[in-house]
């Protein structure tokens, strides 16, 4: 075996063993991203059915009103609070945002008026200003429901109609966006905070200074760190995928092998930032603030926790130049849209450019002590 490669693989084993013996490193690399996965997964993977918390105040004694109340209690759209019986109680709940609206059925609701053959009535929806959108949506839903009831009593001609058609194209769910961003968050944690925390400590203990007296080259040390971190990163991300698929029913459309290759490229790219910061800093006081300055803009502007298309256009254009942006975009394209590596050449090109720039800086600023 080539001596240079043997040296690299030796340090890969040393760094990997040191990582798995470090409980704090294990927590922040594997445990911490899993905590975020459960938090954001619970927020974004719930049922997509729309529902409204309402109070249903029935002032009518008609059979039709009683049937309407029964159907509303069984409805999946309306979550009726049966404990509320008056409008004042409903107003108190709405003022505290515990209710979206109140539905009032007046005394004449469901009565058959003189000269008529069918029951009639007008339900009233009451909502507060801060629940205006929910109130208007609820009004539209009830209006559509009453139209269906009306059609049973009165036959109307409908010259204009709507026909719906489902496309075969896939679309991303909220959890799909969140999960790809959480992978980016995990890559930041293992790629930047790992070296930033480890290197200054090794310098403080004099370990790197002693290594500098050996034939070990900087590129060998960097390469061993890259290989070791790629292995650790794939293990951590594989655990996240397993949890997301088994617990939150993530559906991975793309090819796992191509996704793994892309994730390795992402880990190595972001790791270069950590190597540059950790290799340059003499101690934690220098490394910590500088790493935060770099990490936080990437976390909030690269689509880690929410889609970039929600940002203003100028901010989208600015965030496109961050190194984490093409990584998260590429993960989403492969995992959720089934794209292949050949289809995401723009993202790969951006990652390649960033990798050259970042590692050129890392080699330039690295110091053993």
Residue 210, H or E segment: helix 207-212
CATH number for the region 52-153 comes to 3.40.1710.10
What is the C-alpha to C-alpha distance for residues 361 and 252, in angstroms, rounded to an integer? 36
pLDDT at res. 357:
93
pLDDT at res. 46:
52
> What are the φ/ψ torsions at residue 220 (nearest 5 degrees)?
-65, -40
Reading the chain (369 residues) residue by residue, the pLDDT tens digits are 566 677 778 878 877 787 777 777 777 777 778 887 888 777 665 555 567 888 888 888 888 888 888 888 888 888 888 888 888 888 888 887 788 888 888 888 888 877 777 788 888 888 887 777 777 888 888 888 787 777 777 766 656 566 656 545 555 667 777 888 888 888 888 888 777 777 777 777 777 778 777 777 888 888 888 888 888 888 888 898 888 888 888 888 888 999 999 999 999 999 888 888 877 777 677 777 788 888 888 888 888 877 787 788 888 888 888 999 999 999 988 988 888 999 999 999 999 999 999 989 888 887 777
Neighbours of 122 (CB within 10 A): 10
pLDDT at res. 353:
94
pLDDT at res. 356:
93
CATH 3.40.1710.10, the chain: domain bounds:
52-153
E strand residue ranges, the chain: 52-58, 78-80, 101-105, 124-126
What is the C-alpha to C-alpha distance for residues 28 and 41, in angstroms, rounded to an integer? 18
pLDDT at res. 314:
87
Whether 75 contacts 48, CB under 8 Å: no
Whether 196 contacts 188, CB under 8 Å: no
- The whole-model pTM stands at 0.69
| Length, in residues, of the chain | 369
């Amino acid at each position: 075996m080539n001596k240079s490669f043997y040296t690299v693989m030796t340090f890969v084993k040393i760094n990997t063993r040191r990582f798995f013996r470090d409980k704090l490193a294990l927590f922040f690399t594997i445990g911490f991203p899993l905590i975020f996965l459960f938090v954001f997964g619970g927020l974004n993977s719930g049922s997509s059915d729309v529902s409204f918390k309402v109070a249903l105040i029935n002032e009518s004694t008609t059979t039709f009103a009683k049937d309407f109340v029964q159907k509303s209690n069984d409805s999946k759209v309306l979550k009726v609070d049966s404990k509320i019986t008056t409008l004042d109680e409903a107003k108190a709940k709405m003022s505290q945002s515990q209710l979206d609206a109140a539905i009032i059925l007046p005394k004449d609701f469901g009565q058959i008026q003189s000269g008529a053959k069918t029951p009639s009535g007008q339900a009233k929806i009451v909502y507060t200003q801060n629940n205006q959108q929910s109130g208007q949506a609820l009004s539209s839903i009830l209006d559509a429901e009453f139209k269906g009831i009306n059609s049973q009593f009165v036959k109307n001609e409908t010259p204009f109609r709507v026909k719906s058609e489902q496309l075969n194209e896939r679309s991303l769910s909220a959890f799909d966006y969140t999960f790809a961003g959480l992978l980016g968050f995990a890559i930041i944690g293992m790629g930047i905070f790992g070296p930033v925390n480890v290197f200054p400590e090794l310098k403080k203990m004099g370990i790197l200074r002693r290594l500098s007296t050996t034939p070990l080259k900087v590129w060998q040390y960097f390469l061993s760190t890259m290989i070791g971190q790629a292995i650790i990163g794939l293990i951590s991300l594989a655990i996240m995928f397993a949890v997301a698929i088994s617990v939150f029913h993530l559906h991975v459309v793309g090819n796992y092998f191509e996704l793994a290759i892309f994730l390795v490229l992402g880990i190595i790219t972001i790791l270069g930032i950590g190597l540059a910061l950790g290799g340059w800093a003499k101690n934690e006081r220098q490394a910590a603030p500088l790493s935060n300055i770099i990490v936080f803009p990437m976390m909030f502007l690269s689509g880690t926790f929410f889609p970039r298309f929600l940002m203003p256009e100028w901010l989208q254009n600015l965030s496109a130049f961050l190194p984490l942006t093409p990584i998260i975009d590429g993960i989403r394209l492969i995992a959720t849209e089934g794209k292949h590596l050949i289809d995401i050449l723009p993202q790969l090109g951006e990652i390649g450019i960033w990798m050259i720039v970042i590692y050129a800086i890392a080699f330039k600023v690295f110091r053993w002590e």
